Structure 1
Amino acid sequence: MPRLIFFCGHAGTGKTTLAHKLIGPLMQATGEPFCLLDKDTLYGRYSAAAMRAITGDPNDRDSPAYLDNLRDPEYEGLLDTARENLMLGISVIVVGPLSREIRAHQLTDPSWLRVPEGTQTHVVWVHLPESEAQARIVRRGNPNDAYKLAHWDAYRTRRFLPEPAEYPELIYFDNVAPQEADVNRLLAALAA
């Protein structure tokens, strides 16, 4: 059966970079085809057009207008696309914060996910301390982060670190300065 692997975490933690690093080795280790679904890639242009129409700011990805109008439909579409690939027997890597879904323990609930029976699901929580994540966001210079940076005090209230005892379904990955051995351990866990 196919695999569904989520790379989740707050902005600037390196979710996409880590997923890109692991997709090739995962295909080699498992002998399975994978597709990578990054929320920003799938919905970035659409969201820019929609937010231009709603707020006049095509780069807004964090205001109440975005969160109220686009956030949930983007994630629903992301999961619909993942589901369709899984039904075709293609394993899927999904990249996105998905923090609300993490808090509700939904990403390992097959009935909530509506994935084919037997789908092997893993959720990787990619973590960085807030100060390092903020510094990385500043360094990457993505215009989509402007609202978040300008309203950091409001954004930071949504940041959280899931406690392992409360979220045993998560695979935690500290992305401050991972060594090759750390990445290899993660690969082994996901390919098992």
Structure 2
Amino acid sequence: MTRLVFFCGHAGTGKTTLAKKLIGPLMKATASPFCLLDKDTLYGSYSAAAMGMLTGDPNDRDSPLFLEHLREPEYRGLLDTARDNLALGVSALVVGPLSREVRERRLFDRAWLGVDANVALRVVWVHTSEETAHQRIVARGNPNDAYKLAHWDEYRQRRFVPSGDLCEDLLMFDNTAPAAADYEALLARIVGEPLAVSGMPPVPV
């Protein structure tokens, strides 16, 4: 069985760090290969070149122009790459905000994803407080965050924490200050086994 695992959430929540922390334990727990597909790594340079040509600002990832014209192609390419790996028997951890897709429940729609019933789907929503996320964004000093920070009141309107029906099958993970037990519990939920799994590898903190 191959697995398609999404790590979604707003900027500064630690999606990529969490995925990198879990990929090794996931490979051990499932005895199968995984790849890590991070949207910023795959498309960061391309989008920088495109936005630099269009607007003169290669670091823009939040303006209406980017959101209307480049966001969707980036995500489609990300999913295409995940499907190529799944077809080769390699499970995929896909990292990106994907907030719109979570709102619309698209990540549970196998027809929209283009994956069949043999692929195990898991969607992790990584969250933390707005204040913590803002502090992390400032601390990391990524030029791609400049638009967010300069237009924070506008950007924060796009932030949300799934609730109600949106949380059905969604694995919520508070990444503010997780302990080892929190990582192990999330690992067990992704693998789809009870928490007390004999021989489950510890997750490094």
TM-score category of the 2 structures, normalised to the smaller one: over 0.9
CA distance, structure 2, for counterparts of residue 66 and residue 4 of structure 1? 26
Which residue identity is paired with 2:62? D
Which residue identity is paired with 1:129? S
Superposed CA RMSD in Å reads 0.9
Say if 2:80 is the partner of 1:80. Answer: yes
1:116 alignment partner in structure 2: 116
More divergent stretch after superposition (30-39 vs 159-168): 159-168
| 1:176 Cα deviation from its structure 2 partner | 0.8
More divergent stretch after superposition (172-181 vs 159-168): 159-168
What is the aligned residue count?
192
- For the residue of structure 2 that corresponds to 1:166, the secondary structure is helix
2:141 alignment partner in structure 1: 141
CA distance, structure 2, for counterparts of residue 69 and residue 47 of structure 1? 11
CA distance, structure 2, for counterparts of residue 126 and residue 164 of structure 1? 16
Normalised to the residue count of structure 2, the TM-score between the two structures is 0.92
Deviation above 6 Å: which 4+ runs of structure 1? none
CA distance, structure 2, for counterparts of residue 112 and residue 79 of structure 1? 10
CA-to-aligned-CA distance 1:90-110 (integer Å, 9 cap, x gap): 100000000010000010111
CA distance, structure 1, for counterparts of residue 166 and residue 115 of structure 2? 24
Say if 2:102 is the partner of 1:98. Answer: no
Residue correspondence of structure 1 range 1-192 to structure 2 within 5 A: 1-192=1-192
| 1:164 Cα deviation from its structure 2 partner | 4.4
In structure 1, list runs of 5 or more residues that go unmatched: none
- For the residue of structure 2 that corresponds to 1:107, the secondary structure is helix
> Is contact 1:15-1:126 (8 Å) kept?
yes
> Is contact 1:164-1:170 (8 Å) kept?
no
CA-to-aligned-CA distance 1:91-132 (integer Å, 9 cap, x gap): 000000000100000101111111133110000000011111
CA-to-aligned-CA distance 1:126-158 (integer Å, 9 cap, x gap): 001111101100000000000110001111111
> Is contact 2:103-2:166 (8 Å) kept?
no
In structure 2, list runs of 5 or more residues that go unmatched: 193-205
| 1:84 Cα deviation from its structure 2 partner | 1.0
